[in-house]
A = this chain, B = another copy of it.
Amino acid sequence: MDPINTNHSVDMRVTIGDLQLGNPVMTASGTFGYGREFASLVDLNRLGAIIVKGISQEPRPGNPPPRIIETACGMLNAIGLENVGVERFITDKLPYLQQFDTPVIVNVLGESIDDYANLAARLERVEGIAAVEVNISCPNVRKGGVAFGTDATMAAAVTSAVRQQTRLPVIVKLSPNVTDVCAIARAVEDAGADAVSLINTLLGMSIDIKTRKPRLANVVGGLSGPAIKPVALRMVWQTAKAVAIPVIGIGGIGTTEDALEFLMAGATAVQVGTANFYHPTSVMDIVDGLEQYVHEQGMASVRAVINSLQV
């Protein structure tokens, strides 16, 4: 599990707000558990950052099964934001991650502005958290998620509430289920976000024609994986032109080529999601691949790739 090209002395650092990352490859929330689940397959020290499963104030049991369904080059999930809650996260999950050099970013979710503010305040008092990613976009929970992420005013309100409670870098994670993602991105930028990450999942559905029932117990779920990559890349490109803060690209990234597309489109960093499931070592392959690309192109740093698209 050693990097293929340890001899490259390539500058892979990127900066998100006050946070400096060793490289631009992170794990997307909800697809890498609390890190430990991948420890025997992935060298956690080699990641740019680890973003953990979305955390709420109280533990949540999540939705009834079935929760996941495969679709053409993608998958639908309706996990229902199952998580251990912020207190158990701090006591049971975080200590393990603190033994690594890799920054830990906590994805937070709530059903009210207060929820978000309280979570931010609670995490502010904890050592070893590098940033907060605010999930305003999860489509699986009826209250909360959808409304915040699809309305610029609400999105801004959540952002300022979190901003007021923490000095940590605040990344706001945007929903793709909107007419104008740039408007939302600008709103959260104005409200004090240090960065935006996108996209979260596209709202989708699947039906079992044998039973004539939805395949997911929750009826609708979030579409992720290679299928959504073109939509994600378009939104990242549009958003990177619309805001001055860093943009983190997410959606269907599984290879070095995918990651390069997002960086060229203007992303400062990327998150790997569904690919962690079907190819758990892809995060490391992408770190190696980017390093090799930067080296081969004779670039001074990976930062030279960012926004290098010629339109």
The minimal Cβ–Cβ distance linking A169 to chain B, given in whole angstroms, is: 27
A204, A206, A226, A230, most chain B CB atoms within 10 A: A230
The reply to whether A264 and B212 contact each other, CB–CB distance below 8 Å, is yes
Q: What chain B residues lie within 8 Å of A150 (beta carbons)? A: 179-180
| Any B CB within 8 A of the CB of A31 | no
User: Residues of B contacting A205 with CB < 8 Å?
Assistant: 230, 233-234, 237, 265
For the residues of A in contact with B, the DSSP-based class is mixed
Please indicate the chain B residues that have their CB under 8 angstroms from the CB of A219 in the complex.
Answer: 311
Contact of A234 among B178, B204, B225, B229 (CB under 8 A): B204
Q: Which residues of B contact A117 (CB under 8 A)?
A: none
A310 on interface, CB distance cutoff 8 Å: yes
In the complex with contacts A179-B177, A205-B230, A231-B204, A212-B309 CB distance below 8 A:
yes
Q: Is A79 in contact with chain B by the CB < 8 A criterion? A: no
Using A234-B204, A234-B220 as known contacts, say yes or no to A72 and B229 having CB atoms under 8 A apart: yes
Instruction: Report yes or no: A230 in contact with B204, Cβ–Cβ below 8 A.
Output: yes
Which A residues have a C-beta under 8 Å from some C-beta of B?
71-74, 76, 150, 177-180, 202-207, 209, 211-214, 219-220, 223, 225-231, 233-234, 237, 252, 257, 260-261, 264-265, 308-311
